[in-house]
Amino acid sequence: MNSEEFIKAVKNIVKEKGISEDVVFEGMEQALTTAYKKNFDSKTNVRVDINRETGEIKVYSYLVVVDDVDYGSEETDEEGNIVKIPPKINPDAQIILEQAEEMVPGIKVGETIEKEVTPKDFGRVAASTAKQVLTQRIREAEKNSLIEEFQDKEGEMLLGLVAMEDSKNYFIDLGRTRGILPKSEIIPGETIKMGSNIRVYVTKIETNSKGPLILLSRKHYGFVRRLCELEIPELQDGTLIMHACVREAGIRSKVAVSSTNDRIDAIGTCIGERGSRLGSILKELNGEKLDFVLYSDNPEEYIKKALTPAKNAIVNITDPVKKEALAVVSNEELPLAIGKAGNNIRLASRLTKYKINVKTMEQINAEGNK
C-alpha cells in the first residue's frame, strides 16, 4: 500500500465509522514511534509525523543544544585490547551549538531542536504496523464515539429494531450499537416481534471495556412521560406543563397537567381532536389505560381529579401535616375510585403525594354508629 492508498483507506474508515480523523492519525503516530524505537534500537526521544494529505511518514529526533559533546573514545589496555570508553553525554540526544545554528539560526544552549532521522526502509516497518494499529485505534475510537453519542440519552425515548432475543432479554438495534431490553421490562401482556420497530425508554447507560451498555424499558413510568411529550407538542413548547406521571405498567397511568394559557384546555389538548392524541399513546401502551388529570394547587380539588374515572368525590384533608385525605364517593363510584385490586387509589395517592382513604357515606355512618 503506497502513501496515497493509505490516506484514502484511513479517510474511508473514518467516514464509515464516524470517528475522528485526528484520533486515528495520532494513534498511528504513537504506535510508529514505538515501532521505530524497537526496530532501530533507538533510545532517542523521537516523534513520528504523518502528513494528513499525502500520507508521507517522517521521523524526527529531539536534540538538546549544548556547548560541546563528549562522543567517547577508545583506549588500548595492557594486553593490547581496544577498550571503548562510553561518552559522558549521549550524542543521540544532543547537538553542539555550532551545528544547531546551521539548522536554526539564533538558537541557544539548552533549547531543543528537531532533526529528521527517517530510516530508508521505515516504510516496511510502517506498513507492518499500520493494519494492527488501525484496527486497535478504530475499535477504541468507535467505543469512545459511541459513549459520547449515548451518554446524554439516559431518560430519553429511542426508536430501535428488535434484532435478537435470548431467554431473558431482547436486543434492540439502535443504529451503531444495541441496547438491552429485559423481558421483565416490557409491558405486561405485549408481544415483541423480531424485526419490528419499537420505541424504548433508556433507563441507564453504563460503560465497560466494549463501550456503552444501554439498558432499556417499556415498563418504566418515563416511557409514558416521553410518549406524551412526543404526541403532544404543547408539552414541549411550554404551553402545557406536566407536573407528575405515575404508572402501573399494563394497567393504568396517570399524568397531571396544567395550562400556562387560560384560553387553552389542558385536558382537551392532551386528548386531541376526536381523541387522536390519546389514541396514538394508547396504541403504544398495549391496552393500558391513561388518565390525564388537571393539576391544581388546591389539594382537595387535585385529589378529586386524580380519582378519575370517579367523578363526584367529596374530598377533605384530614391531616395536612401527614398529608392524609378522605374521599367520600357514592356506592356506584366506589369501585371506580378504588380500581382493580386498588390500582386507581394507589396511583392517585402517588400522583398527589397524599394518603387517600376512600369511603361511602354508608360506611362512614356505619362506623359512627358503632
**pTM: predicted TM-score of the whole model, two decimal places:** 0.68
pLDDT computed for residue 144 by the predictor: 77
Is the preceding peptide bond at 309 cis, omega within 30 degrees of 0? Answer: yes
In a domain, 338, yes or no: yes
Instruction: Please tell me whether residues 245 and 142 are part of one structural domain.
Output: no
In a domain, 215, yes or no: no
Cell triple for 6: 493509505
Instruction: Please tell me whether residues 102 and 61 are part of one structural domain.
Output: yes
pLDDT computed for residue 2 by the predictor: 66
At 243, which helix (H) or strand (E)? strand 240-248
In a domain, 55, yes or no: yes
Contact 224, 187 (CB under 8 A): no
Instruction: Please tell me whether residues 13 and 142 are part of one structural domain.
Output: yes
Separation of alpha carbons 104 and 260, rounded Å: 70
In a domain, 300, yes or no: no
Contact 163, 196 (CB under 8 A): no
Instruction: Please tell me whether residues 352 and 275 are part of one structural domain.
Output: no
Separation of alpha carbons 120 and 107, rounded Å: 29
Instruction: Please tell me whether residues 145 and 155 are part of one structural domain.
Output: no
In a domain, 230, yes or no: yes
| Residue whose C-alpha is closest to residue 220's, from 193, 192, 184 | 184
Look at strands 57-66 and 94-96 and give their pairing: parallel
Q: What is the CATH number of the domain that holds 41?
A: 3.30.1480.10
Instruction: Please tell me whether residues 22 and 78 are part of one structural domain.
Output: yes
| Residue whose C-alpha is closest to residue 254's, from 217, 297, 221 | 221
Separation of alpha carbons 361 and 192, rounded Å: 46
Instruction: Please tell me whether residues 28 and 108 are part of one structural domain.
Output: yes
| Residue whose C-alpha is closest to residue 223's, from 258, 274, 188, 196 | 188
In a domain, 301, yes or no: no
Alpha helices, H only, 265-342: 266-271, 276-284, 299-306, 334-338
Last residue of a domain, one of 149, 172, 192: 149
Phi-psi region of 109 (alpha: psi -120 to 50; beta: other; left: phi over 0): beta
pLDDT computed for residue 366 by the predictor: 84
Last residue of a domain, one of 182, 208, 234: 208
Q: What is the CATH number of the domain that holds 254?
A: 3.30.300.20
In a domain, 44, yes or no: yes
Phi-psi region of 155 (alpha: psi -120 to 50; beta: other; left: phi over 0): left
At 48, which helix (H) or strand (E)? strand 46-50
Last residue of a domain, one of 208, 237, 255: 208
pLDDT along the chain (370 residues), means of 10: 73 74 82 82 79 86 77 68 65 78 87 85 74 73 78 92 96 92 96 95 85 92 97 96 97 97 96 95 94 97 97 95 96 95 96 96 80
Strand partners, 212: 207
Separation of alpha carbons 8 and 236, rounded Å: 44
Instruction: Please tell me whether residues 22 and 119 are part of one structural domain.
Output: yes
Instruction: Please tell me whether residues 165 and 103 are part of one structural domain.
Output: no
Strand partners, 328: 314, 359
In a domain, 98, yes or no: yes
Instruction: Please tell me whether residues 25 and 135 are part of one structural domain.
Output: yes
Look at strands 197-208 and 157-165 and give their pairing: antiparallel
Q: How many domains does the chain have?
A: 4
Domain span at residue 45 reads 3-149
pLDDT computed for residue 123 by the predictor: 75
List Cβ neighbours of 353 (8 Å cut-off, separation of 6 or more): 323
Q: What is the CATH number of the domain that holds 155?
A: 2.40.50.140
Contact 62, 44 (CB under 8 A): yes
Look at strands 324-329 and 314-319 and give their pairing: antiparallel
Instruction: Please tell me whether residues 27 and 66 are part of one structural domain.
Output: yes
Separation of alpha carbons 357 and 370, rounded Å: 19
Instruction: Please tell me whether residues 260 and 323 are part of one structural domain.
Output: no
